[in-house]
Amino acid sequence: MDNRLSIQLADEREISVPLAWFPRLQNTTDEQRNAWELIGSGVGIHWQEIDEDISVAGLLGLPED
């Protein structure tokens, strides 16, 4: 099990952050963690089974609208 959340953006930048930042994700199985979907035309990631949402802006340290 990887201890980081890594995503690749449309412009090919890759962001990697510790799973410890997201306890709901850290305490899941690989299968649950891999069951995600993009939301808001790609502004965020949603995990239905664990009811977790993470915005790309938040991962980049940008203010969220």
pTM of the full predicted structure? 0.81
Tell me if 19 sits within 8 A of 28, measured CB to CB. Answer: no
pLDDT digits 0-9 by tens, 6-60: 999 889 999 999 999 999 999 899 999 999 999 998 899 999 999 999 999 888 8
65 lies in some domain: no
Beta strands, E only, 1-65: 4-8, 14-18, 37-39, 44-47, 52-55
24 lies in some domain: yes
27 lies in some domain: yes
17 lies in some domain: yes
